[in-house]
A and B are shown apart, each in its own frame.
Chain A
């Protein structure tokens, strides 16, 4: 009889992990968008990359509660690793993703002890500093990265050895969506596992989590490393579908964009990153065609307004569509 509570808990977690109709409808819509707008394949691929980046940031920020201003460090790292590999003859896309994501994960693991020291302010500082150092390095080592001109001469091989990337970007978009979906499945699994709930407990109250016997530090390091690896995959994906890497993958703007996407979509909720990425990219597309030079102003204004209105509000509307249990413990 002693196993009964554990059994109940397991059944509860399994119940939460069940796919809901709204989720299936969401992914059906994504597929439909790919089928209906073949001429916008490049945009779809970009949205998928931004969504994947936002997902990785959400794991670090939304679930683990680690405040970071430098998540682009891992994104850019992955992009450069995959790009440099492709320009040196290692053009297989899957290998590039693994290299970019794997090395970014190692970088995350190595820097995690530094990031987890101190309070929010120290974290902001160290993450921002780390991304800036990488930016400076990429700018300095022109032989390896092409410096301000960007990395030239990438040759990305056919996908899985069969599908060549075409100029219209159809294969690229399908590839990006597939990677996004796989990463999403992984993150969904993680978020609904005991590990994911432990992260939420830590974010809500680290002291209480520690008192419950959760190894706070180890969980945070794991979440940070995983987030870094996924951001690296996102960067590598961008490098492969665009066939180009430039310094902007490491810029502060990139980190801020990730934050904005989460702000639009909602933090601590996996679909938040996806919805936010779609809205953000469409808005950027629209604004930059209306006011090519000053679209940043509107992005900034949106950030300010969303914070002042309360960023939980759009999420609360959507929360009604979701099961109450997840809404109660975001």
Chain B
């Protein structure tokens, strides 16, 4: 029982890291980037190359993965995404779906269609018992890293100068520009951090979620569920939604395996019927 809860929390934490970048671009920048999962997949495959092929220690590979996907995100934002900010949601959907198709085909071409596994060191493979709860060390590590990132992200958005500039740039980019805020740079940095976090999540979660070329499509719906259920306006909302969905999904697969995949949609539909703007959404939020 408590073990299921523990696994659910670990799963939810990974979901949060994967989805929080999307929560920021969707909720704050009002950009429907369905291809967010492609950045997560890029992170997963980057970890695969670093750890399995080049022999970089797993923990040392994580920051590299973050930086690499963040750089990829910044590049994509500058060259491609910058042109679709002002477009309709439909255009953004089509654009990002196109990117997904390309990413899936490229990975299929480069790494083959089969599922891949990042080699995790044996030291992280063990389990420990605390008060009768069996906890995988790897999952404990995931919870630790993701929890720290979540806290840092919330503090950065709510409490720093950059956070308030971002919010100003989003609320009224013309006035923000008039005040001397470099809106373009802020959007690039935000997008890059979001992509980097997605990559980190992809690397950390490869063991829990699996890694194959279908990843962006398979998890697109999960990310969207996290963001819509959490309400697009807040990081804490996305965090609680991730935990809720992670626990519900793991518990569903554990106790009702025949119902497994439906539980998460059930939770989503229930929440959306109850509150169309999400759990923590503001009615007027964009």
A binds B: yes
Which residues of A line the B interface, CB within 8 A?
61, 67, 69, 114, 117-122, 124-126, 128-129, 132-133, 136, 140, 252, 256, 259-260, 263, 267, 293-294, 296-297, 299-304, 306-308, 311
B277 to chain A, nearest CB (A): 6
Secondary structure call for the B interface: helix
Residues of B within 8 A of A119 (CB): 276-277, 286
Whether A307 lies near B225 (C-beta < 8 A) is no
Expressed in whole angstroms, the Cα–Cα distance for A301 and B228 within the complex equals 28
User: Does B98 touch A at the CB level, under 8 Å?
Assistant: yes
Whether B272 lies near A118 (C-beta < 8 A) is yes
Q: List 7 A-B contacts (CB under 8 A).
A: A121-B228, A121-B232, A260-B94, A296-B105, A303-B95, A304-B80, A306-B94
B102 to chain A, nearest CB (A): 4
Whether A307 lies near B101 (C-beta < 8 A) is no
Whether A303 lies near B98 (C-beta < 8 A) is yes
A-B pair count, CB < 8 Å, reads 117
Having A297-B101, A299-B98, one finds 4 other A-B pairs with CB under 8 Å, namely A118-B276, A125-B272, A259-B93, A307-B84
Whether B108 lies near A120 (C-beta < 8 A) is no
Residues of A within 8 A of B269 (CB): 114, 126, 129
User: Does B104 touch A at the CB level, under 8 Å?
Assistant: yes
Residues of A within 8 A of B83 (CB): 308
Whether A128 lies near B276 (C-beta < 8 A) is no
Residues of A within 8 A of B258 (CB): 140
Whether A297 lies near B105 (C-beta < 8 A) is yes
Whether A126 lies near B95 (C-beta < 8 A) is no
Which residues of B line the A interface, CB within 8 A?
26, 32, 80, 83-84, 87, 89-91, 93-95, 97-106, 108-109, 217, 220-221, 224-225, 227-228, 232, 258, 261-262, 265, 268-269, 272-273, 276-277, 286
Residues of B within 8 A of A61 (CB): 90
Whether B272 lies near A256 (C-beta < 8 A) is no
Whether A133 lies near B97 (C-beta < 8 A) is no
Expressed in whole angstroms, the Cα–Cα distance for A245 and B90 within the complex equals 29
Residues of A within 8 A of B265 (CB): 129, 132-133
Expressed in whole angstroms, the Cα–Cα distance for A299 and B105 within the complex equals 10
Whether B95 lies near A308 (C-beta < 8 A) is yes
Residues of A within 8 A of B286 (CB): 119
Given contacts A121-B32, A124-B224, A256-B97, contact A301 B102 (CB under 8 A): yes
Whether A114 lies near B273 (C-beta < 8 A) is yes
Residues of A within 8 A of B87 (CB): 307
Residues of A within 8 A of B103 (CB): 300
Residues of A within 8 A of B91 (CB): 307, 311
Residues of B within 8 A of A267 (CB): 90
Whether B108 lies near A293 (C-beta < 8 A) is yes
For B94, give its contact among A118, A125, A133, A307 (CB under 8 Å): A307
Given contacts A128-B221, A296-B105, A308-B80, contact A69 B93 (CB under 8 A): yes
Q: Top 3 nearest A-B pairs by Cβ distance?
A: A303-B98, A300-B101, A118-B276
Whether A129 lies near B268 (C-beta < 8 A) is yes
For A121, give its contact among B26, B104, B106, B108 (CB under 8 Å): B26
Expressed in whole angstroms, the Cα–Cα distance for A301 and B286 within the complex equals 29
Expressed in whole angstroms, the Cα–Cα distance for A297 and B97 within the complex equals 11
A180 to chain B, nearest CB (A): 24
Identity of the chain A residue whose Cβ is nearest the Cβ of B106 in the assembled complex? A297
Expressed in whole angstroms, the Cα–Cα distance for A119 and B89 within the complex equals 11
